[in-house]
Amino acid sequence: MTETPEKGERIAKVLSRAGIASRREAERMIEAGRVAVNGKTIPSPALNVTPADKIRVDGKDVGDAEPARLWLYHKPIGLVTSERDEKGRDTVFANLPGDLPRVMSVGRLDINSEGLLLLTNDGGIKRKLELPSTGWLRKYRVRVNGIVIEDHLAPLRRGLTIDGERFQPMNISVDRQQGSNAWLTVGIREGKNREIRRAFDTIHLPVNRLIRVSYGPFQLGELPAGEVEEIKGRVLRDQLGLTPEKAAQKSTKIVKRRR
């Protein structure tokens, strides 16, 4: 094991890049005593490792990092975006196809939201896509209850502060009014917890349906609810600036969900 900080990489980062878990989840696994390096269980994630070190998780060897891959997933309403739920609710990860490798979600969609959720086997891609500095626009189809008046949307378009938390300006277009409901297209660049719902609550237009339709250049399109589609390696390289060695060379395919 390499103790000096200038050599190797942090163990949690290595586990994340190998698709074992996100960096934060890997740290929790280490603290739970599930990770061993060179035959010794490590008590803390404050450790650097090199390619020469042998890492095991739950008694299984951790191999070299797989090529980076990215999938589109059409999340249905009623699933929690987490590995396990303390309330026993059904999760996204329990409903993915059995032939998918271990994946992590890019951001989250709450239990009552649906639409595009990106999945990746690479912790570096996850962090890159989630960073606020990336600034990729996330677009949503939003149905609100109430009559929409353009002037009332001004605070959301300017940006506002809710309970001390600052929200960036939203891109909003009104698509149509249908009786007591209205459909809008909303674009945001940060994706804070329940951001759209909380923002529209402040102008007394409660959201009763929320569908993410795109995340940066990646589109939900006609992907059916509950199904997964892999992004081509070439597209992944072009959009994220990956080297050919870093991105998988796979063709786009539809992976059916488990029945």
Residues with a catalytic annotation lie at 110
Let me know: does 63 contact 224? Beta carbons within 8 Å.
no
Report how far residue 134's alpha carbon sits from residue 137's, in angstroms, rounded to the nearest whole number: 9
Using the Cα atoms of residue 115, residue 79, residue 127 and residue 124 in order, give the sign of their dihedral: negative
Helix (H) or strand (E) holding 155: helix 154-158
Question: Which H, E and C letters describe 14-78, residue by residue?
Answer: HHHHCCCCCHHHHHHHHHCCCEEECCEECCCCCCEECCCCCEEECCEECCCCCCECEEEEEECCC
Report how far residue 13's alpha carbon sits from residue 238's, in angstroms, rounded to the nearest whole number: 24
Let me know: does 18 contact 65? Beta carbons within 8 Å.
yes
Let me know: does 122 contact 17? Beta carbons within 8 Å.
yes
Report how far residue 153's alpha carbon sits from residue 182's, in angstroms, rounded to the nearest whole number: 13
**For residue 105, which of 34, 210, 220, 21 has the smallest C-alpha distance?**
21
The label of the residue with tokens 């200038």 reads: 6
